[in-house]
Amino acid sequence: MELPVINLNGFLQEKENLSSSEQDCRKLANVLRQYGAAAIYDPRVEQQDNESFLNMMERYFEQPTEVKLEDARPQLYYQVGVTPEFTEQPRDNSVYAKKLLPEHKPTAFKGKDCKWRFQWRIGERSESSKYPELVSEPVVPRGFPDWPSIMNKWGEKLLATGFTIAEMLAIGLDLPRDAFLRLLAKGSHLLAPTGVDIDRYEKGHVVAGFHYDLNFLTLHGKARYPGLFIWTREGIRIPCKVPDGCLLVQVGAQLEYLTAGYLEKGFHEVVITEELKQKAKQGNQSHWRVSSTLFVHVEADAILEPLGHFQHLELAKQNYVPTEAGAQVAQELYAIQLAQNI
């Protein structure tokens, strides 16, 4: 099944006078509540930018391991540059997984994820922060002269979509329309594609184990290979099918925090499927599966706490105590073994 599509066009056309697009804002909020994800059509996004980005990332990931390792910054918890395969350990979500029906259980996996990732900051950044790893200098890989321009072009498009979604979502949730935007303006947003060499793994192998994203929203351009599965609020596992020309957006942990669980962080996994294996046999495309991922983040020094009327939800005070976003990120990075010493 395909995810419902939210078209941003109406909202972008009539930003000041929301007569008809207010409905789109409410639909966005409802779809994100039900699915933890939505398909998004944004007329500003050009598929060609995604293609240039995927082409470059495939070339990057196809390089030998020792070349890619030059770009790793473990001292910055891998928050810029490359994260090698077998570094990130999905956190233990077995309490949640136990509640799922047998046919909707996550695919079993052992140990750390076999995916690589590259992280590149997008957008304005704070001059300083208590969390230096979140505002650190970018890494530009050797031999990729167009790296900054290609990364920024695509990343800024995704970020603009992310900001529009944040504004529409605030309206759809009956919050002031800048309620989320003001927390995001100087967030350390990361263009964070993953890469996995399909030929090395059999059908059924887990590339990214069952997890949720620690940030506010995650946006994805269309990947060239399938393999992503998401869980709805009711715990139904569905293959993520996004119509051509659309993006995918997923709810992250920070958005759950700000809405006291009205929107829940979306669980997902990436698995080598039969369909993916078949696709790799066709044509002569790269055998690296690359994701086109942007993590939209709340500013590290901002406070995460339920906003507006969400403060009055029953579990708000108990489960979502005010905490700095940077501290929440650090705690999550520690849990997935990217940070060792907080």
Least spacing, CB of residue 262 vs Fe ion, in Å? 21
Nearest approach in angstroms of CB 196 to Fe ion is 13
| Structure tokens that stand for 199 in this block | 């030929």
In degrees and rounded to multiples of 5, residue 80 shows phi and psi of -130, 155
The mark string for 158-197 relative to Fe ion (x by CB under 5 A, - otherwise) is: ----------------------------------------
At residue 174, the 3 state secondary structure works out as coil
Rounded to an integer, what distance in angstroms lies between the CA atom of residue 175 and that of residue 156? 25
213, 269, 299, 332: residue in contact with Fe ion (rule CB under 5 A): 213
Nearest-angstrom CA–CA distance, 339 and 319: 24
For Fe ion, which stretch binds (CB under 5 A), given 54-62, 170-178, 208-216, 325-333?
208-216
For Fe ion, the closer CB: 58 or 213: 213
Q: Is 217 helix (H, G, I), strand (E, B) or coil?
A: strand
Nearer to Fe ion, 49 or 213 (CB): 213
Question: Does the protein bind Fe ion through residue 113 (CB under 5 A)?
Answer: no
Do 168 and 283 touch, CB atoms closer than 8 A?
no
The count of chain residues that interact with Fe ion, using the rule CB under 5 A, is 1
Shortest distance in whole angstroms from residue 250 CB to Fe ion: 7
CB atoms within 10 A of CB 278: 11
Closest by CA position to 194, among listed 294, 52, 320, 342: 294
Task: Tell me how far, at minimum, the Cβ of 211 lies from Fe ion, in Å.
Answer: 6
In the complex, what is the shortest distance from the CB of residue 248 to Fe ion, in angstroms, rounded to a whole number?
Answer: 11
CA dihedral of 289, 291, 292, 298, whole degrees rounded to 10: -160
Q: C-beta of 177: minimal distance to Fe ion in Å?
A: 28
Interface stretch with Fe ion, choices 1-9, 161-169, 211-219, 221-229 (CB under 5 A): 211-219
Kindly indicate which of the ranges 26-34, 146-154, 176-184, 212-220 contains the residues binding Fe ion, using the contact rule CB under 5 A: 212-220
Per CB under 5 A, which region of 109-117, 147-155, 210-218, 309-317 contacts Fe ion? 210-218
**What tokens were used for 322?**
């005010």
| 180 vs 231 by CB, closer to Fe ion | 231
CA dihedral 196, 199, 201, 203 (to 10 degrees): 110
Least Å distance, CB 146 to Fe ion, is 27
Q: What span, in angstroms and rounded, lies between the C-alpha atoms of 278 and 274?
A: 6
Q: Does 269 bind Fe ion (CB under 5 A)?
A: no
Least distance (Å) from Fe ion to the CB of residue 37? 11
Secondary element (H or E) of residue 275: helix 274-281
Separation in Å, CA 59 to CA 54, 63, 64, 153, 339: 9, 7, 11, 18, 28
85 vs 213 by CB, closer to Fe ion? 213
Q: Give contact residues for Fe ion (rule: CB under 5 A).
A: 213
